[in-house]
Chains A and B, each alone.
Chain A
Amino acid sequence: MADIRPFCMPKWGIEMTEGTVAEWMVAEGEAFHKGQTICLIETAKITNDVDAEFDAVLARILVPAGSDPAPVGALIGVFAEPGTDSAAIDAFIANFKPADTAVAAKGAGEKAKPATPAPAPAAATPRKIITNRPISPEALKLAEQADVDLAGIEGSGRGGRITYQDVDQARRPAARGPLRGTVPVEPESAVFASPLARRIAALHGVDLAGLSGTGARGRISKADVLALVPAPAPAAGGAIAAPFVPVDNRPTVVPFDRIRKVVAQRLTEAKQQIPHVYLRVSARADELAAMRKTANLILGCKASINDYVIKAAAMALARHPDVNVQVHGQEIHRFPHADIAIAVASPKGLVTPIVRQADRMRIDQIAGATRALIDKAAAGRLGFEDMDGGTFSVSNLGMMEIEDFAAIINPPQGAILAVGGITRQPVETAEGGIAFESRIAMTLSVDHRAIDGAAGAAFLATLKSLIEAPEGLFA
């Protein structure tokens, strides 16, 4: 038996369910050496090289570059010894069964390891349910897993037997969409047309009387009516009294790409499921702006205002660990150090790479880290280790002239700070006059399940004092 090895779609993290082969660096039938890059694989957020762990031949490519995404664990290629005959490889492919991808599939060159694996929420042990009511096996399994009380369920099966659907319905929150009421039904006139055709005819003033349609038994359809709608005549030039004629306003359809799908799904879940509470504050930024010039000169770095805000937020978080949290199911995970995710608009979409332990970094180190992450994001080369985890997020739209906004929490993090731009504001001076100062507005969104308003306010007070007295940032 020749040594034939599967090459499966690797799993780079808990949330990765599928990947796309962006490029094969080795051609089918070509030999490669240990350490050589075999292919590039893209997930929703990252692109990674897959490097060979041994010498072999890429005997077969099953997922060509640019194909649709393949699920984690799916066979994407086959490695073999040189000279392995093709029939043996065909047989290997035919008999291949993907491993259970619930455990992380071993990629050919799995080098992207999450830097700080987020602890998975401990699954509650299923409660054993003893019942003498008739219930299907799957329904009982679900009831035990989801801890559903059977007492409140009326079985819809024969003789009151409980089905999976009954249990599934019982565990869902009550729902009732908005009602739209009834609409009057028009009497059938002499015209035989579909309701939609009637509606379109009324809209365009088409008379359907005497018309014979192309539908079944001469029924007038939507297409028949649209065929009679005159194309809008070109507007008569210069006639002031010419009526306004609307032009065709057809949209360009842009389907969601993968990254937008992921972002859309996660943000929707976050906004729907997390009880957000918003705390707004503004801080005087004149001292910070002045300090930044001096400090950047001394440290020889180009730290932005945002870098200073990250530093301030990280220090405040270290002093308020009850805000430096992740929320996992029924648990709050408090972290001693602040891993701050920064929202970056990249060509591929919104990404949130992480500055790790920002509270322990000097401002020049933070500036270096954010610069590296932003460059990587722009090149679409952010790796899983750049994005995994995070205890807090900072989203800054100041450079876009936004004064103040509120951001959506990035689960499992407990809070996000939305930072606006620096604006000149009139303030009352001690003498009762008016002076202008630079102010920066910030809104903290917190997950109210885990963080109380008072805790968020205490954190903001510290943050505000650090920005207004920035020498504290170098303590």
Chain B
Amino acid sequence: MAKMMYREAVVSTIAAEMERDPSVVVLGEDVVGGMGTAGGPEAIGGIWSTSTGLFGKFGKDRVIDTPISESAIMGAAAGLALAGKRPIAELMFADFIGVSLDQIWNQIGKFRYMFGGKSKCPAVIRMAYGAGFNAAAQHSQSVHQILTGMPGLKVVMPSTPADVAGLLRQAIRDDDPVIFLEHKALYATSGEVPDGEHLVPFGHARIARAGEDVTIVATGMLLGFCEAVADKLAGEGIGCDVIDLRTTSPLDEEAILDSVEVTGRLVVVDEAPPRCGLATDICSLVANKAFASLKAPPQPVTPPHTPIPFAREMESAYLPSADKIEAAVRKLLDWR
């Protein structure tokens, strides 16, 4: 076990996999971190410091700075993957996905299916998502609801350094394209990471807290709120089963349904807008397949259906919070 930051878990896992497998390459804007500046490569570090030291270790053929063109980065990743490499393409802000959507959605996500399985596309597409930094409406979004709805892509949302290591290693080794979503607010958080080839299979949720009164499902940064609420309510004898989905595609339906079959109550917390999103998707799953167990209506906790505001006070009013989650739990417990 080693204690490290979320961002360090990203770099160390990529480095370890590049050591192990020469076909793994990294590409993205400024992944070298200072190329073309007075200080030279690695002088500045990438925008999230998630590729620090890779250039020095693996050189320019495997750590590739790209032009500022998301279409080009994703197109290159698609070609590399088809040609036998295992590219890790960094998109920087998840909000920039729009201009590269054709490469991701219509090409990378569909190659294996449309070539009848004769080809595969093992690309990993990393991006930083999420709000909480007053980065306004174009640099704070959570895009997992769009990508989860695209068949052919796997979507991963780790919430701890250990899960970053385990899920990123799984993503790099996976033969399908994987969208790897890193929450900006978590980069500087620390935690224990198991040594060696720590692997977390996709589609296996993490039970962050066990309880028998209400099921709370969340991803990424929101787990912290959910755990705090669970710990607070445990003092009142209220048991919260907190489920960290880890991956939204594939989705661990069994973990959710098994929990709701015991608790009969569901709260789903999500940072993306409410319409046609992850929260509604899971509420619908439970309404569909655990109707017999429900004691109260499934309860989504999401932002309102608006762009993310810039002002500090408005952003905190917009985002899900521990108070909102607690209120949702109490509402379900008082449901008659």
Contact = CB atoms under 8 A, between A and B. Distances in A.
Given A138-B293, A156-B289, A157-B289, A163 B257 contact: yes
Given A165-B290, A165-B293, A158 B254 contact: yes
A379 B200 CA distance: 70
Contact of A157 (B253, B292, B293): B253
Majority DSSP secondary structure for residues of A touching B: helix
Given A165-B293, A168-B292, A169-B292, A157 B254 contact: yes
A136 B292 contact: no
A164 interface: yes
Contacts of B261: 136-139, 163-164
Nearest to A167: B292
A97 interface: yes
A156 B292 CA distance: 13
Contact of A136 (B237, B254, B291): B254
A163 B289 contact: yes
B262 interface: yes
Given A163-B289, A165-B292, A168-B292, A136 B253 contact: no
Interface in A122-145: 136-139
Interface string A374-390: 00000000000000000
A360 interface: no
Contacts of B254: 136, 157-158, 161
Contacts of A138: 258, 261-262, 293
A137 B259 CA distance: 10
Contact of B258 (A97, A136, A156): A136
Nearest to B250: A158
A97 B290 CA distance: 29
A280 B253 CA distance: 59
Nearest to A97: B237
Contacts of A165: 289-293
Interface centre among A138, A156, A168 (most CB of B within 10 A): A138
A164 B253 contact: no
Given A163-B290, A164-B290, A168-B292, 14 more contacts: A136-B254, A136-B258, A136-B261, A138-B293, A156-B288, A156-B289, A157-B254, A157-B257, A163-B257, A163-B261, A164-B257, A164-B293, A165-B289, A165-B292
Contacts of A137: 258, 261
Q: Which 8 A-B pairs have the closest CB atoms?
A: A138-B261, A168-B292, A165-B292, A164-B261, A136-B258, A158-B253, A163-B289, A164-B293
A163 B288 CA distance: 11
Contact count band on A:
10 to 19
Contacts of A164: 257, 261, 290, 292-293
A92 to B, nearest CB: 15
Interface centre among A136, A137, A157 (most CB of B within 10 A): A136
A163 B258 CA distance: 8
B255 to A, nearest CB: 10
Majority DSSP secondary structure for residues of B touching A: helix
A395 to B, nearest CB: 34
Interface string B62-88: 000000000000000000000000000
Nearest to A169: B292
Contact count band on B:
10 to 19
Interface centre among A139, A158, A169 (most CB of B within 10 A): A158
Contacts of B262: 138
Contacts of B291: 165
Interface in A298-329: none
Contacts of A168: 292
Nearest to B260: A164
A163 B257 CA distance: 8
Interface centre among B237, B254, B257 (most CB of A within 10 A): B257
Contacts of A161: 254
14 contacts: A136-B254, A136-B261, A137-B258, A157-B289, A158-B254, A161-B254, A163-B257, A164-B257, A164-B290, A164-B292, A164-B293, A165-B289, A165-B290, A165-B293
A161 to B, nearest CB: 7
Interface in B231-253: 237, 253
Nearest to A136: B258
Contacts of A97: 237
A163 to B, nearest CB: 5
A157 B253 CA distance: 8
A297 B257 CA distance: 73
Interface in A152-210: 156-158, 161, 163-165, 168-169
Interface string B103-134: 00000000000000000000000000000000
Nearest to A139: B261
A241 B114 CA distance: 81
A137 B262 CA distance: 9
Nearest to A165: B292
B6 to A, nearest CB: 30
Interface in A2-51: none
Contacts of A136: 254, 257-258, 261
Interface string B33-63: 0000000000000000000000000000000
Contacts of B237: 97
A387 to B, nearest CB: 28
Interface string B272-305: 0000000000000000111111000000000000
A158 B288 CA distance: 13
Nearest to A168: B292
Contacts of B292: 164-165, 168-169
Nearest to B235: A94
Contacts of B293: 138, 164-165
A279 to B, nearest CB: 40
A97 B239 CA distance: 14
Nearest to A156: B289
A154 to B, nearest CB: 13
A137 B291 CA distance: 16
Contacts of B257: 136, 157, 163-164
Nearest to A158: B253
Interface string A414-435: 0000000000000000000000
Interface string A88-130: 0000000001000000000000000000000000000000000
Contacts of A158: 253-254
A231 B258 CA distance: 57
A450 to B, nearest CB: 31
A231 B262 CA distance: 55
